[in-house]
Structure 1
Amino acid sequence: MERDDPDGSRLLTSRDVGDLLSAAVEHSGGQLVDWRMEHVDANPQHSTTATYNATVQWPFGRREELLGVSARVGGPAPSDERAEIFAAGSRQLAVWIYPKDPDLPGLVRAAYPAGMAEVLNEHRVLPSPVRPEQVALEMIAYRPRRRAVLRATVTTPGGPVTFYVKVLRRQLFAEVERRHLMLLEVGVPAPPVAASTSDHLLVLRELSGRPLAKAIFDPHPPTSAERLIGVLDAMPAAVSQLQRRPPWTDSVQHYTVMVQRAMPGEQRRLDWITAEIQSGLAGTAPGDEPTHGDFHEGQVHVDGGRVVGVLDVDTIGPGRRVDDLACMVAHLSTVQRMNTEQAARVRALLAGWVPVFDTRVDPTELRLRAAAVIISLATGPYRSQEPHWERETSFIIDAAEALVRQVR
């Protein structure tokens, strides 16, 4: 079994993993009642991490839990030792119960109102001490063993105050905080830092305005292409001295393999798209412009036509402006589950913005790089185990193919 499944992806996505989950729960003093897979992160031929929604009968009562499991080629890594190690045949796997993620130590505090109140009080984030019952928490995003983001809303006499809490890995924390401060110092509207902790929590104040991800459905354009480009151009030159983050195009083959593993029937089409991207971009320089690195509608806040905030600045660094604009085109080209009216408004935005982007960067490069970003997005429906992930994945691949065909 291990020889045919070196990274554990087959085991972790099959019903066979149930015995492992049951053993892990029993080791912690409970009984596994039921479970289903919630999320899977596969790195073919290297590792797989999956999470499972589980119903557990504990001595104190029945409760829903989130269980995590990691498998690696060659056995557990040093960080896996912070989880429990269980054997499945000759394979050793790391298992944990949320929030005890072995790579996100701060999650244990951030996941509970008492812990979050402790963080806010420790750093005197608000004028008055915060009690746990004042704190409401909502998980915004969780990539097991990578990062988490929670919304913490505190009820105060003056009204609710909202913070966003980034839960980060130790090796990334200092650089992420540095990037926020670097942008804030020159007036780029990144989220202000309210607190940073020794267990790698970055507490950020809420941005003003509305998320562009919602505003794209407004009857009138929420902002202009020129203003989107303008906020990128406002980033300081020092961003170009940061560590380079490879653009999405550098990993297009990697993501192609991931999608093909989930949907073998798309292999021929994906191979063609990838070959066109790679040949069309061969020889292009990496670039040294200050870039955001993951610029899309979910990262931007707008108000009155202006760009008033930019989120997730963890990825800023040197690159090519075309990569940022291509990322925006890719995400807008693959918005899921829209009604007819919403789809028409997004198409109208693309029709208005892309010609402006074309005046700033090479149009062919823009489309090929956008197609590469789309291939990375095609891993999302399977990874998140969406109910109709096969159909949604094919829709995303359609968008990549359409962009490539525009430049042939």
Structure 2
Amino acid sequence: MDDGSRLLTGPDVEPLLRVAVEHAGGQMLNWSLDHVDTNPEHSTTATYLAQVRWPYGDRSELLGVSARSGELVESDANAEIFADGNREVAVWIYPNDPDLPGLPRAAFPDQLATLLNEENTLGRPVTAEQLSLTMIGYRPRRRAVVKLVVNDPREVFYIKVLRPKLFSDVLGKHLMLRAAGVPAPEVALHTTDNLMMLRELPGRAMAKAIFEPGDPCTAEQLIGALDAMPASVSELERRPPWSDAVAHYAGMVTAALPDVGPDLDWASRTITAGLAGYPPGDEPTHGDFHEGQLRVADGRLVGILDVDTIGPGRRADDLACLIAHLSTIQRMNPQQAAKVRDLLARWVPVFDERVDPLELRLRAAAVVISLATGPYRGQEPNWQETTRQMVRSALALVRQVA
């Protein structure tokens, strides 16, 4: 089925972008593809960087377009609907994302200052000039994270912008972990339009600390932090492990880069068969445990971020996720690559003592395959070779136990 990927990644999308900008009162001067998110045979969402001439002057804008193989969904109506032949597509200009109603308030300092003052979040009034905003991550129609720095005195927060149907669940998870003493971020503010403002955790990101002298923390601390999660986490809704969708992710990678298809088909079949005998598990798990989610200080783990995904599962999934992310860090120099290899060489044997080594490697390979969709989605330079390298990493993990 036509999921719209050909239209949204090719030159034929230009008339849609031009019409959308003209409808908003501007003139598009040029554009380039920024990000692609494809669910093969179902839907595609893409964003584009465009230079637009408005009555008040030229400005760079981010445009979003969603196309579907079937009918549009309800929230598409929150965007502008335009027709391309027999297909209707939803088009918006950032920050008016049709699934993230709170994003406009999080994107502009004046609106955010008004919100903070109305809620007395900081215990003092602030002006827009005291606020500095940086977009940390934006997955169109899924979520966004904005870094907020308040000056005089300096305080740092992260604002999560979520879809309405997910908000109460994510808020409850943060509050649950905080009440149990797990070092998750403190919720400083939450709103009816699905903004969650989190106070910055102490320490620094492990993603940076791994390249500094010494160890960022120990393997035992990583396992201990996960094992310290309250039993109530196991009563939450189960989130399928990455390995359950390995064939889906393999299909996504193959659609973008067909020459890796045979290797990915073998790997996904081997992973699925190798994990078939393992039960789902009922340990409290993080669900997306990797170096970007962890804060460290003085060789200790001091904080855990992005707890949206916590729920029942297997400890091997969390540890495999960390191995997969460390195994696929891009653009390292030789010294950095050597440091990561050394950490993995010392940490993985410790993980092997806590979980089944075969399970650990197969689950890590599945996560690597899911990560291999990223270079194409983000339209990274030389994404083809980066993807091939990640596929080779997944194959190496499978071959260790196959």
Per the TM superposition, whether the score is higher than 0.5 is yes
Aligned-partner residue type, residue 336 of structure 2: Q
1:359 equivalent to 2:359? Answer no
Structure 2 distance, partners of 1:351, 1:119, is 48
Asked whether the 8 Å contact 2:133–2:148 carries over to 1, the reply is: yes
SS at match of 2:151: strand
Partner residue, 1:124: 120
- Residues 62-81 of structure 1 deviation map (CA, whole Å, 9 limit, x = unaligned): 10000000011212111000
| Counterpart pick for 1:385 among 370, 379, 382 | 379
Q: Distance in 1 between matches of 2:397 and 2:189?
A: 42
Equivalent residue for 1:135, pick from 125, 131, 136 = 131
Gaps of 5+ in 1: none
Q: TM-score, normalised by structure 2?
A: 0.99
Report how many residues are paired.
402
Give 1:304 deviation, angstroms.
1.2
Query: Tell me, what secondary structure is at the counterpart of 1:261?
Result: helix
* CA offset digits 1:150-187 (Å, max 9, x no partner): 0010112x3x1110000000000001000000000011
- The answer on 1:406 being equivalent to 2:400 is yes
Hey, what does 2:22 align to over in structure 1? 26
Contact 1:239 1:290 in 2 (8 A): yes
Structure 1 runs, 4 residues or longer, greater than 2 Å off: none
Is the counterpart of residue 96 in structure 1 residue 92 in structure 2? yes
- Could you tell me how far 1:197 is from its partner in structure 2? 0.3
Q: Which secondary structure state, in structure 2, belongs to the residue aligned with residue 16 of structure 1? A: helix
Within the candidate set 289, 297, 302, 1:308 is matched to 302
Q: Deviations over 1:101-126 (max 9, x none)?
A: 00000001000101111222222121
Gaps of 5+ in 2: none
Q: Secondary structure at the match of 1:150?
A: strand
Question: What CA distance in whole angstroms lies between the structure 2 residues aligned with 1:172 and 1:280?
Answer: 33
Which residue does 1:277 correspond to in 2? 271
Q: CA deviation at 1:188?
A: 0.3
Letter of the 2:354 counterpart: R
Q: CA deviation at 1:57?
A: 0.6
Cα pair 1:219 1:345 within 8 Å, conserved: no
Confirm or deny that 1:254 pairs with 2:286: no
Does structure 2 conserve the Cα–Cα contact (< 8 Å) formed by 1:75 and 1:93?
no
Residue 9 of structure 2 is matched in structure 1 by 13
TM-score normalised per structure 1: 0.98
Residue of structure 1 equivalent to 2:342:
348
Q: 1:70 is paired with a residue of what secondary structure?
A: strand
Q: Percent same amino acid at aligned positions?
A: 64
Tell me how far apart the structure 1 counterparts of residues 111 and 278 of structure 2 sit (CA, whole Å).
48
What is residue 109 of structure 1 aligned with on the other side?
105
| Match among 333, 336, 341 for residue 339 of structure 1 | 333
1:242 maps to 2:236: yes
1:277, 1:118 → 2: CA distance?
A: 51
How far, CA to CA, are the matches of 2:76 and 2:260 in structure 1? 34
Instruction: Name the SS for the 1:309 alignment partner.
Output: strand
RMSD: 0.7
Alignment check: 8 A CA contact 2:214 2:299 kept = no
Distance 2:119 2:361 in 1: 46
